[in-house]
């Protein structure tokens, strides 16, 4: 790995603001950046090493929550430099989950790739997936992605999978992400940043991977905001994180009031209703 690539990764990490992307609809848990197979093309529009033909299926339980279990079936085809993939995914249960159908295509070469993806999404509580329900209550996302080889086993990429959206807001918002990945022969390092979006912050992450035969070990480190806070924000659940001393002030069974706007947690007397309680000790987020 060349020194310029390592230096660029460090600079990219320093330019970010907070946390990585959330759970995905089609791809399994994997490192950021270009990936091989139909799922990577459908998920981030970043194809790399696409096989001539591929059929992929998987189940992923995000954060160990049954309500965030994703079941995926995808297929892809590559003819020379042209690649196309389609897939269907279901996340969650019938009350709170959604079904996604996606189609992606692009051009893949040794020095770079460019792809376009379209995803149609329908809440599972609206009934069986179909054209009539999609037209009335469904949503659609259109996006693109691409990567460019910089030399020395270093690649730069950009992915914007929700350039245009129609219908209800996506359950997992994905702003513009760009980054660098460097490495070969079973070892790699990467760094990525996300562009800020209205009502939210940007994001940053760094990661690394090593592989031996069919096995790969990888990890990613987020910025300042924990994953739990990001999940709560995406689902509209009030949450306060990074609270100093909370385990010393609040005990199991205590009643509390959580103010997500101010980043404050107040302990309430157990015999007093929440609405009119006189606050006890207050702890605030860092």
Say if 241 falls within a structural domain.
no
If asked whether residues 229 and 251 sit together in one domain, one would say no
Neighbouring C-beta atoms of residue 207, cutoff 10 Å: 21
Closest to 175 (Cα-Cα) out of 239, 230, 107: 230
pLDDT digits (tens, 9 = 90+) for 51-71: 889 899 988 877 677 767 888
**Using CA atoms, how far apart are residues 254 and 245, in angstroms rounded to an integer?**
15
If asked whether residues 253 and 132 sit together in one domain, one would say no
Is 223's pLDDT higher than 80? no
What residue has token string 């019938």?
94
If asked whether residues 199 and 280 sit together in one domain, one would say no
Lowest mean pLDDT among 41-55, 122-136, 246-260, 271-285: 271-285
Say if 130 falls within a structural domain.
yes
If asked whether residues 218 and 265 sit together in one domain, one would say no
If asked whether residues 182 and 118 sit together in one domain, one would say yes
To the nearest whole percent, how much of the chain has pLDDT over 90?
A: 18
Say if 220 falls within a structural domain.
yes
* DSSP, res 102: E
If asked whether residues 125 and 186 sit together in one domain, one would say yes
Terminal alpha carbon distance of the chain? 37
Is 202's pLDDT higher than 90? no
Say if 239 falls within a structural domain.
no
If asked whether residues 182 and 272 sit together in one domain, one would say no
If asked whether residues 170 and 254 sit together in one domain, one would say no
Domain count for the chain: 2
Domain extent, residue 268, equals 246-284
Say if 22 falls within a structural domain.
yes
Highest-confidence range of 181-185, 186-190, 236-240, by mean pLDDT? 186-190
Helices and strands in the chain: count of H runs, count of E runs: 5, 14
If asked whether residues 211 and 259 sit together in one domain, one would say no
Say if 240 falls within a structural domain.
no
Say if 122 falls within a structural domain.
yes
Q: What is the mean pLDDT of the chain?
A: 75
For 43, the token pair is 């998920």
Query: Where residue 189 sits, what CATH number does that domain have?
Result: 2.40.160
If asked whether residues 186 and 251 sit together in one domain, one would say no
If asked whether residues 194 and 273 sit together in one domain, one would say no
Find the radius of gyration of the CA atoms of the chain.
21
If asked whether residues 58 and 183 sit together in one domain, one would say yes
Say if 11 falls within a structural domain.
yes
């Amino acid at each position: 790995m060349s020194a310029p690539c390592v230096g660029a990764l460090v600079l990219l990490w320093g330019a970010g603001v907070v946390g990585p992307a959330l759970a995905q609809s089609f791809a399994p848990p994997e490192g950021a950046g270009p990936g091989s197979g139909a799922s990577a093309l459908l998920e981030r529009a970043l194809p790399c090493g696409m096989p001539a033909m591929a059929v992929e299926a998987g189940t992923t339980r995000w954060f160990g929550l049954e309500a965030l279990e994703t079941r995926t079936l995808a297929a892809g085809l590559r003819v020379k430099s042209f690649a196309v993939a389609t897939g269907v995914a279901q996340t969650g249960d019938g009350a709170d989950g959604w079904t996604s159908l996606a189609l992606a295509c692009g051009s893949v070469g040794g020095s770079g790739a460019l792809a376009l993806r379209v995803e149609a999404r329908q809440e599972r509580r609206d009934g069986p997936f179909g054209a009539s329900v999609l037209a009335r209550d469904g949503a659609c996302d259109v996006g693109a992605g691409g990567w460019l080889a910089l030399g020395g086993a270093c690649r730069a990429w950009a992915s914007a999978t929700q350039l245009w959206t129609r219908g209800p807001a996506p359950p997992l918002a994905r702003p513009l992400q760009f980054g660098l990945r460097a490495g070969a022969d079973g070892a790699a390092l990467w760094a990525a940043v996300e562009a800020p979006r209205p009502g939210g912050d940007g994001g940053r992450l760094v990661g690394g991977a090593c592989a031996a035969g069919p096995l790969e070990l990888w990890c990613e480190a987020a910025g300042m905001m924990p994953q739990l806070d990001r999940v709560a924000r995406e689902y509209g659940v009030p949450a306060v994180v990074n609270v100093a001393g909370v385990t010393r002030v609040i005990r199991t069974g205590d009643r509390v009031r959580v103010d997500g706007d101010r980043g404050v947690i107040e302990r309430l007397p157990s015999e007093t209703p929440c609405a009119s309680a006189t606050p006890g000790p207050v702890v605030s987020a860092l």
